[in-house]
């Protein structure tokens, strides 16, 4: 099959050229249309059910809304869990699905269960699904600001501009799931009743509400025909402004005197009760908008479309109003994309340099190098077809050394064969190339199989780590398979055109290296015991140092901006929260590295957030890094931490926008480590959480330690007296309706102004409801017409209640959160676990679990304990298929611990932690390192099969294998050097992987060239003669057709061929 493919490629060269051009066109199209992101979407497959329950306390939201909805969602197929957050006035239930489940299928399932649960909810509540997006879909945020201080624009006017001008034009863009508004004031018409006046006229709030409903509306009455024309009958009765509302008749007194709304209430334009606000740069309030991207859309394309549309919207805005972006995920995409392609370009140039230095032939080097862009185009086509976006992970781990490996084998073989030919004709040259390709075709396929086998188990990772590294494995596998196809077709075809007679030029530097290697190998073969013991000693030292390596899940990505989560007392009011936000902004603006600050308090209109008014997200935008005075971001955080600690009552946590959203979506924890305390009683949970906070604060490295506030919100509690209710002939619903209408307000009707809709809300004036005492004086109409004070039928008291109630899998929980500074996450979490178990005593039925990034790290490491042995078994199986015996297969596997030595040493030398990126680097390294061993052992076997004595075969084979071993190792490692040294944005994730591969290749190459020949000779000398003869006969029967290493073929076939020619 392989020989036939090569023959067809050389016979139909024009067809191969056409297929290559088609690949260029298809790959270019795929590159232009492929989704581009900073990261693959790492968030779980989730569906949110959001229920706004205005007026309900957290306890009632939990019992009446969250619990029935959670129960309805339990048992959905292919789900991973259900959790909920219950807060005053809102419930958010999150259902997590397996990654493979289609988003719209999941939403359909949740919708069905949601409709089933509606009957269990209080009347009037209508749950809805969150937008079809992910937390990482918050790709663009902007401010709507008033810039003219002489003609100020109110927050209410800004909100109307956002809702009725900006938002509708942005929502029509492809890829935009929703546009969320945060801050500002939503306009309402307020009818603020005076209870004494209502009582004087014998009216109630309900009468006021009915009158407004009955006196607002246009109507139609069909049509009439008169004098040959048809006229539609239209009645105009809609309310238009405060004057119209004030003139509505509520009742008519005796004698026909009307009672107007203005007689019993003040009519004003006011804001809806606010659940959030936005401030910026210490200059007060403004309004922000947020673009929520549809899941699966092209992030860069959506951001570009939004920026273009905003430019079109700007001329339509009133004078003195402007739109100013403050967060653009496209900037992160652009920076990381620039980093990826910069590293790829530099790595490619280094690979080409290595090829030229070793091949010393410009045409041969260019033929080999041309496989790199063509293989990338194959990868782009596959990525576009399978929905894999171009991002830091999918492209960041491509090693051009792996991509050109098969082509290096081919071209070097061509150069050697053509170098021994004397003035060949075109047909003879093509035949030489065909035979040379036949010699290495099967070994090339075998070499690629080892590389693919190494990466395939990465797809067995779970959760976040699978979403992160599966795109990388997919891209590498596709690119390597593409390079294999090109090596078997494109490279022979192009070589038949471009490679004429080739003369191998001697290289002085390599002759010197080979001479030095010959002497060192000779000494090693003489002192075999010392060499083996020395290697084992270094290996033992390396393995003993591994437990002392710091561990973490992943290095933190520098997104170019910072997010500081701030928290105050749960009972903090909005004005007080804004005052503290201004203090925070002014404090941070003192740092010269800070360019601008935006603070978002509470939650937005579309409840994608559940923050209370006591919590805020502070977005910090930086000046260019070359203008910084701080040496690093870590040092800047330390200085900001010191400055913010001077603000009393403020708790805070340093993170980044995308990182925070990701952490919260995965486990509900926004920090690196989260301790979840489960149990029934909120007071016990809060007490134990506070104990754990004190324990963690004593652990070295703890930073930003805090507990979720499940208590501390102040409530005005109305304890109804049933005996008093009975005396006045009242029931609970009478009190409920009076309190809800008088304090919370009732939407009686709405004012329609073109596209605009403004609610008309009836409630008591502020002076009659603004204090607990005023609430106690609320009048309730009894069935006999009497007016009863609320305090006569209920005890009014101020108590402390829960601010939020978290559920996970049906259990109440409180989360203690902490970041880590100055040490690794793994050792910190281990110490926290020990201290919490020792110092915190939990009642029966209460327990703790550990989440956040630590949970991801534990799951990933546990999975790797299964994956790494699987990788090694796959390699052993392929080696056994190559050598036909387990002895030499295990001998070649010595390169795995040899590679481990360099990888671990590189982590120590660079002060890096062992994280998931480094672990995946070790997996990739094992495959590359094993191939170097195959290179050596396969050729030594070939020389012995030709009758050469063992010692001579080991010496000559090792010396002959020196160039391909060095060449392939340098090509692979040089491709990773730019990633290992890069400090550009996004390189934080690439550096550990590249560092491990480079360090491992250095030691595995050195030990392959010295230790492996020593062990080979020692092992073969002690192997029984009858067993050796048996395996020799097996190899002879298998012949040259047996699969061998791609790299071993780089010289095995050519060298043997040239040796036969010279002997002749």
- β-pairing, 187-193 with 756-764? parallel
pLDDT band at 898 (very low <50, low <70, confident <90, very high): confident
CB atoms within 10 A of CB 733: 8
Contact 584/356 with Cβ under 8 angstroms? Answer: no
pLDDT at 1064: 30
Read off the pLDDT of each residue in 299-303 and give the average, rounded to a whole number: 87
Identify the DSSP state of 673: E
* Inside any domain, residue 141: no
CA dist 10 and 349 (Å) reads 29
| CATH code (residue 746) | 3.30.2090.10
**Residue 971: beta bridge partners?**
none
Residues 6+ away with beta carbon under 8 Å from 393? 39, 40, 468, 469, 471, 472, 989
Q: Which of 573, 605, 550, 523 is nearest to 1014 (CA)?
A: 523
The confidence band for 1034, taking pLDDT boundaries of 50, 70 and 90, is low
Is 202 domain-assigned?
yes
669-673, 819-823, 894-898, 1048-1052: which range is least confident on average? Answer: 1048-1052
CA distance 927 to 487: 20
- The C-alpha atoms of residue 293 and residue 163 are separated, in whole angstroms, by 18
Average pLDDT of the residues in 691-719: 85
Q: CA 578 to CA 575: how far, in whole Å?
A: 5
Name every residue whose Cβ is closer than 8 Å to that of residue 690 and which is 6 or more positions away in sequence.
Answer: 707
pLDDT of residue 399: 74
Poorest-pLDDT segment among 339-343, 546-550, 736-740: 339-343
Quote the pLDDT of residue 486: 92
Tokens standing for 253?
């007194």
**Residue 479 domain-assigned (yes or no):** yes
Is the domain of 844 the same as that of 750? no
Question: What φ, ψ does residue 54 adopt, rounded to 5°?
Answer: -55, 135
For the chain, what's the residue count?
A: 1064
The tokens describing 784, both together, are 């006999």
Residue 100 has, within 13 A of its CA and on its CB side, a CA count of: 4
pLDDT surpasses 60 at 1059? no
Q: Which of 117, 114, 78 is nearest to 96 (CA)?
A: 78
* Domain termination residue (choose one: 786, 801, 816): 801
Tens of pLDDT, residue by residue over 137-173, are 888 999 999 887 777 889 999 999 999 999 999 999 9
CA–CA gap between residue 884 and residue 1037 (Å, rounded): 11
Q: Is 417 or 323 the better-scoring residue by pLDDT? A: 323
Instruction: Assess whether 693 and 549 both reside in one domain.
Output: no
> Given 801, 835, 869, which residue is the final one in a domain?
801
pLDDT digits 0-9 by tens, 30-46? 988 888 877 777 778 88
The answer to whether residues 694 and 770 belong to one domain is: no
What's the pTM value of the predicted model, to 2 decimals?
Answer: 0.80
β-pairing, 79-87 with 128-129? unpaired
Q: Is the pLDDT of residue 820 over 80?
A: yes
Range of the domain at 626: 561-590+605-655
What distance in Å separates the CA atoms of residue 769 and residue 758, rounded to the nearest whole number? Answer: 23
Q: What angle do CA 743, 88, 745 make, to 5 degrees?
A: 20
Residue 320 lies in a domain: no
Instruction: Look at residues 205, 111, 171, 180 and name the one whose alpha carbon lies nearest to residue 313.
Output: 171
In a domain, 431, yes or no: yes
Q: In angstroms, what CA-CA distances link 277 with 85, 184, 572, 614? A: 21, 6, 13, 11
Exposure string (b/e) for 426-437, b if CB count within 10 Å is 16 or more? Answer: eeebbebbbebb
| Residue whose entry in the numeric block shows the structure tokens 């997919």 | 474
What does the pLDDT read at residue 1028?
Answer: 53
Q: Which residue has the tokens 């988003």?
A: 103
Phi, psi of 25 (to 5 degrees): -65, -50
Instruction: Encode 883-946 in three state secondary structure.
Output: HCCHHHHHHHCCHHHHHHHHHHHHHHHHCCCECHHHHHHHHHHHHHHHHHHHHHHHHHHHHHHC
| CATH number, domain with residue 685 | 3.30.70.1440
Residue 635 lies in a domain: yes
CB atoms within 10 A of CB 1039: 7
Asked whether residue 829 falls in the same domain as residue 887, the answer is no
Burial 520-539 (b: 16+ CB within 10 A, else e): ebeebbeebeebeeebeebb
What integer pLDDT is reported at residue 930 of this predicted model? 80
Please state whether beta strands 702-707 and 811-820 pair in parallel, antiparallel, or not at all (unpaired): antiparallel
Calculate ∠ Cα 688-692-695, nearest 5°. Answer: 140
Identify the bridge partners of residue 819 per DSSP, sorted by sequence position: 703
The residue-averaged pLDDT of 335-361 equals 78
Instruction: Give Cβ neighbours of residue 373 (< 8 Å, ≥ 6 apart).
Output: none
**The dihedral of CA 659, 660, 665, 666: what is its sign?**
positive
CB atoms within 10 A of CB 882: 25
Rounded alpha-carbon distances, angstroms, from residue 77 to 113, 717, 889: 12, 41, 45
Residue 278 pLDDT class (50, 70, 90 cuts) = very high
pLDDT single digits (tens) 279-296: 998 888 899 999 999 988
Distance CA 492, CA 435 (A): 10
Residues 865 and 847 in one domain: no
For residues 598 and 621, give the distance between their C-alpha atoms in angstroms, rounded to a whole number.
9
Report how far residue 1017's alpha carbon sits from residue 1011's, in angstroms, rounded to the nearest whole number: 10
Judgement on whether residues 732 and 619 belong to the same structural domain of the protein: no
How many distinct helices (H) and strands (E) make up the chain?
38, 30
Contact 860/552 with Cβ under 8 angstroms? no
Per-residue pLDDT at 57 exceeds 50: yes
Residue 822 DSSP label: S
Residues 123 and 125: their CA atoms lie apart, in Å, by 6
Same domain, 1060 and 924: yes
For residue 587, the tally of other CB atoms under 10 A from its CB is: 18
Report the b/e string of 32-67 with b at 16+ CB within 10 A: eebbbbbbbbbbbbbbbbbbbbeebbbebbbebbbb
Q: pLDDT: is 871 or 850 the higher one?
A: 850
d(CA 815, CA 679): 12
181 Cβ contact partners less than 8 Å away, ≥ 6 residues apart: 159, 162, 163, 167, 287, 288, 289, 290, 604, 605, 606
Residues 6+ apart with CB under 8 A from 207: 198, 250, 251
What integer best gives the mean pLDDT of the chain?
A: 84
Residues 679 and 732 in one domain: no
- Return the pLDDT at 1051: 38
pLDDT tens figures, 95-114? 999 888 889 999 999 999 99
In 3-state terms, what secondary structure has residue 16?
A: helix
Which of helix, strand or coil describes residue 152? coil
Q: Tell me: do 498 and 621 sit in the same domain.
A: no
334 domain residue, yes or no: no
Asked if residue 707 and residue 646 are part of one domain, the reply reads no
pLDDT tens, 511-529? 888 888 888 888 888 888 8
- Can you say whether the dihedral through the CA atoms of 239, 244, 246, 250 is positive or negative? negative
Point out the domain boundary residue: 801, 819, 843: 801
Nearest Cα residue to 850 out of 818, 822, 880 = 818
CA distances from 34 to 38, 308, 385, 388, 748 (A): 13, 20, 9, 8, 51
CB 655 within 8 A of CB 674: no
Number of domains the chain contains = 6
H, E, C per residue of 857-875: HHHHHHHHHHHHHHHHHHH
Same domain, yes or no: 893 and 1033: yes
Is pLDDT of 1027 > 60?
no
User: 78: domain CATH number?
Assistant: 3.30.70.1430
CATH of the domain at 884: 1.20.1640.10
**Residue 23 confidence (pLDDT):** 93
Q: Measured in whole angstroms, how far is the alpha carbon of residue 409 from the centre of its chain? A: 39
Residues 440 and 570 in one domain: no
Question: How many angstroms from the chain centroid is the CA of residue 970?
Answer: 33
Name the phi and psi angles at 1023, rounded to 5: -80, 135
Q: What letter does residue 1023 receive in the DSSP assignment?
A: S
**Residue 366 falls inside a structural domain:** yes
Q: CA–CA distance from 419 to each of 237, 490, 530 (Å)? A: 98, 21, 41
């Amino acid at each position: 099959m392989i020989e036939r493919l090569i023959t067809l490629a050389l016979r139909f060269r024009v067809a191969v050229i056409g297929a290559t051009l088609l690949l260029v066109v298809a790959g270019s199209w795929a590159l232009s249309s492929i989704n581009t992101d900073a990261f693959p979407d790492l968030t779980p497959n989730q569906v949110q059910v959001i229920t706004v329950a205005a007026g309900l306390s957290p306890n009632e939201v939990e019992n009446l809304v969250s619990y029935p909805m959670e129960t309805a969602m339990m048992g959905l197929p292919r789900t991973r869990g259900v959790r909920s957050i219950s807060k005053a006035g809102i419930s958010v239930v999150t259902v997590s699905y397996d990654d493979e489940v289609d988003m719209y299928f999941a939403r359909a399932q949740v919708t069905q269960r949601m409709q089933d649960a509606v009957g269990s909810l209080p009347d009037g509540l209508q749950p809805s699904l969150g937008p079809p997006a992910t937390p990482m879909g918050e790709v663009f945020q902007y401010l709507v600001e008033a810039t003219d201080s002489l003609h100020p624009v109110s927050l209410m006017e800004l909100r109307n501009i956002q809702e009725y001008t900006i938002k509708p034009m942005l929502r029509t863009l492809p890829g935009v799931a929703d546009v969320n508004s945060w801050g500002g004031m939503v306009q309402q018409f307020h009818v603020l009743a005076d209870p004494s006046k209502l009582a004087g006229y014998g009216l109630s709030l309900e009468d006021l509400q009915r009158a407004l409903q009955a006196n607002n509306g246009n109507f139609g009455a069909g049509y009439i025909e008169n004098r040959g024309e048809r006229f539609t009958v239209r009645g105009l009765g809609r309310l238009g402004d405060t004057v119209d509302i004030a003139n509505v008749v509520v009742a008519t007194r005796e004698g026909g005197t009307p009672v107007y709304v203005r007689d019993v209430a003040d009519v004003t334009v006011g804001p809806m009760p606010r659940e959030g606000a936005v401030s910026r740069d210490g200059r007060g309030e403004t309004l922000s908008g947020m673009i929520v991207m549809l899941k699966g859309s092209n992030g860069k394309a959506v951001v570009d479309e939004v920026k273009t549309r905003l430019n079109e919207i700007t001329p339509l805005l009133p004078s003195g109003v402007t739109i100013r972006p403050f967060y653009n995920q496209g900037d992160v995409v652009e920076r990381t994309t620039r980093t990826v392609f910069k590293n790829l370009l530099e790595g490619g140039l280094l690979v080409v340099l290595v090829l030229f230095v070793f091949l010393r032939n410009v045409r041969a080097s260019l033929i080999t190098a041309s496989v790199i862009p063509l293989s990338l185009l194959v990868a782009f086509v596959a990525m576009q077809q399978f929905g894999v976006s171009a991002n830091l992970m999918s492209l960041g781990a491509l090693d051009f050394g792996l991509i050109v490996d098969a082509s290096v084998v081919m071209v070097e073989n061509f150069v050697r064969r053509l170098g021994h030919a004397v003035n060949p004709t075109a047909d003879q040259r093509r035949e030489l190339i065909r035979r040379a390709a036949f010699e290495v075709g099967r070994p090339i396929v075998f070499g690629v199989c080892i590389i693919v086998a190494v990466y395939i188990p990465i797809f067995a990772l779970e959760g976040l780590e699978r979403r992160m590294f599966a795109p990388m494995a997919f891209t590498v596998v596709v690119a390597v398979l593409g390079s294999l196809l090109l090596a078997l077709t494109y490279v022979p075809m192009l070589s038949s055109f471009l490679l004429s007679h080739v003369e191998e030029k001697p290289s002085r530097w390599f002759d010197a290296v080979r001479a030095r290697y010959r002497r060192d190998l000779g000494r090693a073969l003489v002192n075999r015991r010392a060499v083996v013991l020395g290697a084992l000693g270094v290996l033992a030292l390396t393995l003993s140092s591994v437990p002392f390596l710091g561990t973490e899940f992943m290095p933190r990505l520098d997104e170019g901006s910072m997010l500081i989560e701030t928290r105050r007392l749960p009972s903090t009011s909005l004005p007080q929260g804004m005052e503290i936000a201004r203090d925070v902004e002014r404090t941070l603006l003192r740092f010269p590295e800070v360019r601008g600050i935006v603070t978002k308090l509470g939650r937005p209109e579309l409840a994608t957030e559940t923050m209370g008014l006591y919590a805020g997200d502070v977005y910090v935008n930086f000046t260019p890094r070359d203008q910084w005075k701080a040496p690093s971001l870590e040092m800047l955080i330390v200085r900001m931490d010191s400055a913010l600690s001077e603000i009393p009552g403020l708790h805070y946590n340093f993170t980044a926008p995308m990182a925070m959203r990701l952490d919260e979506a995965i486990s509900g924890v926004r920090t690196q480590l989260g301790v979840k305390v489960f149990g029934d009683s909120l007071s016990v949970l809060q007490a134990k959480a506070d104990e754990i906070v004190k324990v963690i604060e004593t652990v070295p490295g703890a930073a930003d330690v805090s507990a979720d506030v499940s208590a501390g919100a102040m409530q005005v509690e109305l304890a109804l007296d049933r005996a008093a209710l009975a005396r006045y002939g009242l029931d609970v619903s009478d009190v409920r309706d009076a309190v809800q209408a008088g304090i919370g307000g009732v939407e009686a009707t709405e004012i329609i102004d073109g596209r605009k809709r403004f609610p008309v809300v009836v409630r008591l004036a502020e002076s009659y409801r603004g204090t607990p005492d005023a609430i106690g004086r609320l009048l309730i109409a009894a069935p006999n017409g009497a007016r009863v004070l609320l305090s006569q039928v209920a005890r009014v008291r101020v108590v402390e209640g829960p601010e939020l109630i978290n559920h996970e899998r049906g259990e109440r929980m409180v989360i203690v959160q902490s970041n880590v500074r100055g040490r690794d996450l793994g050792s910190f979490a281990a110490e926290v676990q020990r201290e919490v178990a020792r110092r915190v005593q939990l009642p029966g039925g209460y327990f703790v679990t550990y989440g956040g990034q630590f949970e991801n790290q534990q799951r990933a490491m546990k999975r790797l304990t299964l994956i790494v042995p699987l990788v090694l078994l796959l390699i052993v199986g392929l080696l056994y298929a190559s050598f036909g015996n387990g002895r030499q297969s295990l001998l070649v596997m010595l390169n795995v611990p040899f590679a481990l030595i360099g990888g671990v040493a590189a982590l120590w030398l660079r002060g890096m932690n062992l994280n998931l990126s480094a672990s995946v680097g070790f997996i990739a390294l094992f495959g590359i390192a094993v191939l170097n061993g195959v290179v050596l052992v396969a050729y030594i076997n070939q020389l012995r099969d030709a009758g050469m004595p063992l010692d001579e075969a080991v010496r000559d084979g090792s010396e002959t294998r020196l160039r391909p071993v060095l060449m392939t190792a340098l090509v692979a490692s040089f491709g990773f050097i730019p990633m290992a040294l890069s400090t550009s944005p996004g390189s934080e994730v690439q550096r550990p992987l590249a560092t491990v591969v480079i360090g491992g290749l250095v030691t595995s190459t050195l030990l392959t060239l010295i230790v492996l020949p020593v062990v080979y000779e020692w092992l073969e000398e002690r192997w029984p003669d009858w067993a050796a003869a048996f395996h020799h006969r097996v190899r002879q029967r298998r012949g040259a057709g047996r699969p061998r290493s791609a790299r071993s073929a780089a010289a095995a076939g050519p060298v043997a061929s040239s040796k036969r020619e010279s002997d002749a």
